[in-house]
């Protein structure tokens, strides 16, 4: 039912179920489908950075690290401890979150075994909530679990190469760095019969079925098929995310649009229209979405919220980019920083393991800006001085040295896993790279976008 991709915090799209409060963009909430317990009555506001859907309740993470919870609370799942968090995951009758110190907090019940205690430690990176159990992923790629294990669904699998986790009603899944998915727990409906292939880049779980996305963006499904949830997934090769509920699923395309399939008695498969979704999640019979508010880019202590020049005109075409490149629009407005004798450094972090898993060389990453007058993307920086400082040992963080030496420069810092460029004007900025094969968007690979002002 819930899935998480370790280490992914994108500038436009937080693809993980358990996402960071430091995500670059925040947005507002919407819901659809079943609403018996108020699970579709989402709270207001536009400062949310991550969402998670339990069976009948919802969770949202605010930019300041605090939580919002609503819907059914009969298991105590709405009673999360006060504090600040960086990842969230909702289960059937329980909620879990990773605190900013890396430890796990938990509320609710893992019926039929009752309350359970999450594992200790402060090195947790991800969570995935099943109906009666929860999976956890450490920063070192190992797994943890707690809750009901009557089918062995909470048994911890060995290994240090896990990148993503997903949990259903009584089964669990994990994606390895070699592109294979492993599954365990009940297999009554074939939900653990993982196809024998090594090209998976994402994993998801429904109540009794399982899903994966391959390197070419195709959805693969297996398990229960009561409402065609496994036999009739959306066709195409442009998908980057899947999540499942009770015999239905939701998928997100590279263009950030959503599509649903399977059981639809309460309208739960009627995914909303639009192309500005940061994240989508589904519960047992309802859906939850986080919608991007243009311009809400985190800049350390606050955000820059305004209209973005070139956003509507630019769309997501890659005209002007390197052949085969695919783009992640950052939607950054810098007009209040563009003054005489000043410029800004734009930095975007990436996950090196995920790049490697998808066959993308880090040194192919580039930052571009949208030239609306020309109708194409251009490399970020001064066109007369596009010097690549990727291998410059003197470059540390934002200490770039005298502006006369670096104005217009850019680089890929493969020691600290980020791309940077010095920019001096307002525009729509995009991160792009060249997959091998060039089929996956870096929308699922980007990182925290940070802007820091520099003076000449």
Q: Where are the domains of the chain?
A: 2-295, 306-455
Maximum Cα interatomic distance, the chain, rounded to a whole number of Å: 68
Q: Position of tokens 């207001």?
A: 44
Whole-number Å distance between alpha carbons of 415 and 441: 23
- pTM across the whole model: 0.69
Supply the pLDDT for residue 393.
36
By DSSP bridging, strand 366-371 and strand 342-349 are unpaired
Q: How many CA atoms lie within 13 A of 400 on its CB side?
A: 28
Quote the pLDDT of residue 359: 62
What pLDDT sits at residue 358?
53
d(CA 259, CA 290): 15
Q: What pLDDT is recorded for position 363? A: 75
DSSP tally for the chain: helices H, then strands E:
3, 31
What are the beta bridge partners of residue 207?
Answer: none
Q: Cα separation of 332 and 298, whole Å?
A: 10
Give the whole-angstrom CA distance, residue 159 versus residue 138: 11
Say if strands 418-423 and 376-379 run parallel, antiparallel, or are unpaired: unpaired
Interacting residues of 318 by C-beta distance below 8 A, sequence separation 6+: 325, 326, 327, 377, 432
Q: What confidence score (pLDDT) does residue 88 get?
A: 96
The backbone region for 181, taken as left when phi is positive above 0, alpha when psi lies in -120 to 50, beta otherwise, is beta
2-295 under CATH 3.90.79.10, yes or no: no
How far apart CA 5 and CA 164 sit, in angstroms, is: 4
Name the residue with tokens 């896993």: 417
Measured CA to CA, the distance from residue 427 to residue 186 in angstroms comes to 51
- By the 10 Å C-beta count (0-12 exposed, 13-18 middle, 19+ buried), 404 is classed as exposed
* Token pair for 186: 């009940």
Question: H or E stretch including 355?
Answer: helix 352-357
CA angle 148, 153, 159 (to 5 degrees): 125
Contact 44, 85 (CB under 8 A): no
213 with 193: CB under 8 angstroms? no
Per-residue pLDDT of the chain (456 residues; tens, 9 = 90+): 544 332 222 222 222 223 343 334 578 999 999 999 999 999 999 888 899 999 999 999 998 899 999 999 999 999 999 999 999 999 999 999 999 999 999 999 887 776 688 999 999 999 999 999 999 999 899 999 999 999 999 999 999 999 899 999 999 999 998 889 999 999 999 999 999 999 998 899 999 999 999 988 899 999 999 999 999 999 998 888 899 999 999 999 877 789 999 999 999 999 999 877 888 999 999 999 998 753 333 232 222 222 333 333 334 456 666 666 655 444 444 444 433 445 566 666 666 665 665 566 777 777 777 676 777 777 775 443 444 444 443 333 333 333 334 444 677 777 767 777 776 666 666 767 665 543 333 333 333 334 333 333
CA distance 107 to 109: 7
Question: Measuring CA to CA, which residue among 294, 258, 256 is closest to residue 441?
Answer: 256
Give the Å distances, CA to CA, from 384 to 316, 379, 406, 408, 409.
26, 11, 12, 8, 10
Sign of the torsion formed by the C-alpha atoms of 99, 176, 205 and 32: positive
Give the integer Cα–Cα distance in Å for 372 and 428. Answer: 9
């Amino acid at each position: 039912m819930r899935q998480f991709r370790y280490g992914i915090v994108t500038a436009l799209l937080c693809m993980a179920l358990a996402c960071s409060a430091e995500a670059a963009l925040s947005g507002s909430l919407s819901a659809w489908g079943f609403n018996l317990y108020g699970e579709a009555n989402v709270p207001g506001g536009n400062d949310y950075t991550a969402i998670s859907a339990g069976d009948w309740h919802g969770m949202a993470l605010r930019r300041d690290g605090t939580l919002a919870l609503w819907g059914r609370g009969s298991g105590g799942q709405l009673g999360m401890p006060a504090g600040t968090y960086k990842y969230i995951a909702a289960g059937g009758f329980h909620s879990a979150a990773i605190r900013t110190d890396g430890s796990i907090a938990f509320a609710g019940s893992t019926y039929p075994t009752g309350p359970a205690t999450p594992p200790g430690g402060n090195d947790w990176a991800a969570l995935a909530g099943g109906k009666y159990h929860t999976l956890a992923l450490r920063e070192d790629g190992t797994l943890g679990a707690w809750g009901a294990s009557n089918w062995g669904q909470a048994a911890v699998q060995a290994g240090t190469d896990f990148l993503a986790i997903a949990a259903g009603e009584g089964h669990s899944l994990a994606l390895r760095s070699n592109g294979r998915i492993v599954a365990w727990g009940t297999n009554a409906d074939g939900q653990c019969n993982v196809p024998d292939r090594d090209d998976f880049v994402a994993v998801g779980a429904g109540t009794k079925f399982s899903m994966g996305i391959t390197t070419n963006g195709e959805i693969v499904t297996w398990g229960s098929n009561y409402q065609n949830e496994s036999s009739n997934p959306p066709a195409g090769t442009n998908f980057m995310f899947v999540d499942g509920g009770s015999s239905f699923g939701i998928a997100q395309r590279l263009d950030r649009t959503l599509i649903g399939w399977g059981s639809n008695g309460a309208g739960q498969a009627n995914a909303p229209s639009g192309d500005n979704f940061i994240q989508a999640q589904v519960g047992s019979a309802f859906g939850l979405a986080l919608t991007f508010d243009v311009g809400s880019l985190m800049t350390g202590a606050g955000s820059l919220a305004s209209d973005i020049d070139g956003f509507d005109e630019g769309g997501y075409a890659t005209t002007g980019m390197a052949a085969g490149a695919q783009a992640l629009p950052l939607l950054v407005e810098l007009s209040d920083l563009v003054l005489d004798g000043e410029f800004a450094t734009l930095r975007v972090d990436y996950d090196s393991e995920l790049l490697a898993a998808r066959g993308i060389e880090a040194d192919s990453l580039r930052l571009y800006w949208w030239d609306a007058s020309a109708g194409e993307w251009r490399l970020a920086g001064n066109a007369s001085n596009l010097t690549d400082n990727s291998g410059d040992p003197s470059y540390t963080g934002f200490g770039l040295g005298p502006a006369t030496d670096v104005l217009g420069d850019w680089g890929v810092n493969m020691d600290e896993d980020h791309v940077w460029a010095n920019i001096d004007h307002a525009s729509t900025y995009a991160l792009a790279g060249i997959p091998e094969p060039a089929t996956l968007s870096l929308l699922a690979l980007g990182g925290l976008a940070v802007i820091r002002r520099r003076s000449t």
